[in-house]
Chain A
């Protein structure tokens, strides 16, 4: 009983890692808290649904995030770049307007009914985990979360682009003065961040139903994660995502009446102790 809950918690945590790393990347470089991130996740999921219906899940897994990356690049070029001298709160409100437009578009194109995507045949089996059978697909979700966390960490630590991103998120003006093309960098980072939201959507589709409310649920959880972890901190987000997944699913067993509010209590407690979040010093 507990094994399966811990397992499910880690699976949801892995999904949150994919979501929150995009949110943290965009915040790190552009200082934008993207309220439309949940809607981008939803758009990715529905795109994935359509692609999976016409071809296969594996095509969707690649094509939907690729399309979302293009969207992200446009978003940066025609949105964030033009607004970079504005008050951060202004940009937040723009992303909120974007959220409303995307939600409407998704409801108009795909309707308000719940849709579902079957897991791919290859992973449509169960795996034995310490004597408990678990769906193989969810093991795959966990693997994707780990790969994203590992890939991003390596990219940030060892690539030139990663060095620039870390520099620019500390001080964008000085970084630009040193000859780094921060605009090109930002297009890459926002593109990757948006693609990750899309990837999370496609990955979530086979185990969470597609519905117009899917965006706000995951957006709220992601906000809890990045606020607790510290805005813009990737490692803070990774750890907090797993902890939050565990708290939710294990809490559902031991404190069923309070499980919905446990994450928020955790968040308020952390903010009381450290207003900038666990790993956060930069605000």
Chain B
């Protein structure tokens, strides 16, 4: 499973160049804005997918990290407690630290109950945010007062559609590179061993709680990055960002894209947004359409688009398909 360093570097370089070419050649601001949103959700889905891939846990409450990152930036800027650059860094570190602490408790909860727990805690945040008065504006949400310059660049230039796309794309690619480097090392091996059989991992002397909590924290941190990008993109945060349906959509992207590869969840996000746009007038019924798509994916291609594509490539290469004895995420009792 380990990917060589040169391959990671090459993929990243190609991806960054492709993003640059896209910005240079696509003129339509509508298309670019649509894909910017898709890329922000791709980062979000990357976070949710990381948890499923390395911990085998399905979260129905990741909107909590997405939304609270937005709120954290908004409140820090509103109170002018720290400069905007520090607000971004503090938010990312803060959400990661909080998710580590939460992870210490949550990851001990077995399988499905974990999903229910995350759903409930996420919805608790949603209720708290929509009922709160004052600074956060309750159900109406709050505007984010970005300063005129950010990291030495004028904010209006930064939030121009093409620049915003380039920023989000770079954030996605660099996050994926960082995760790929991290997971090809000891950390990846340990977390996969713990995911596949926690008891056995403990028997061979691995401390199992900390790596799992660390994955949870990392997953929360990546999702918070998506939240910060969304806050920059829209300049607005509301309880809707915390709603369980947002978590559900992110989870759907992960499943449809496929969790077998790091690029699966981001692919799911892009497919989701493009499909929703193509549906046009039928988009009122997107819930039913995507619900059916989710079920169809799980039943017919459990490894998502990644699995389907990998099968296609393998068939092209005319090598006999070699499937592992037990598929990823198989039942462990």
Q: Which residues of A contact B (CB under 8 A)?
A: 33, 35, 83, 86-90, 92-94, 96-101, 103-105, 108, 216, 220, 223-224, 226-227, 231, 260-261, 263-264, 267-268, 271-272, 275-277, 283
Contacts and interface: CB of A to CB of B under 8 A. Distances in A.
Given A33-B116, A226-B116, A104 B58 contact: no
A271 B117 contact: yes
A96 B127 CA distance: 21
Given A89-B112, A231-B112, A97 B124 contact: no
Those 8 A-B pairs whose CB atoms lie nearest each other, nearest first = A100-B291, A104-B288, A97-B294, A97-B295, A104-B287, A264-B124, A101-B291, A97-B291
Interface in B73-113: 105, 108-113
Contacts of A99: 291
Nearest to B288: A104
Contact of B290 (A83, A100, A260, A271): A100
Given A100-B288, A267-B120, A275 B294 contact: no
Interface residues of B, number: 41
Nearest to B254: A93
A100 B127 contact: no
Given A216-B244, A227-B116, A271 B295 contact: no
A214 to B, nearest CB: 14
Nearest to B333: A283
The DSSP consensus for interface residues of chain B is helix
Contacts of B252: 96
A260 B127 contact: yes
Contacts of B124: 260-261, 264
A220 B123 contact: yes
Contacts of A89: 56, 58, 111-112, 115, 329
B128 interface: yes
B288 A105 contact: yes
B116 A223 contact: yes
B302 interface: yes
A216 B61 CA distance: 13
B266 to A, nearest CB: 19
B302 A90 contact: yes
B119 interface: yes
A140 to B, nearest CB: 29
Nearest to A224: B120
B127 A93 contact: no
8 contacts: A89-B329, A93-B58, A93-B251, A93-B255, A216-B244, A220-B123, A271-B117, A277-B113
A96 B120 contact: no
Contact of B117 (A93, A97, A227, A276): A227
B188 interface: no
Contact of B110 (A98, A261, A276): A276
A85 B295 CA distance: 16
A254 to B, nearest CB: 17
Nearest to B293: A97
Nearest to A271: B109
B157 to A, nearest CB: 39
Contacts of B108: 275
Interface string B169-198: 000000000000000000000000000000
Interface string B243-278: 010001001100100000000000000000000000
Contacts of B115: 33, 89, 92
Given A89-B329, A108-B285, 6 more contacts: A93-B58, A105-B288, A216-B123, A264-B124, A268-B105, A272-B105
B294 A100 contact: yes
A231 to B, nearest CB: 6
A101 B121 contact: no
B309 interface: no
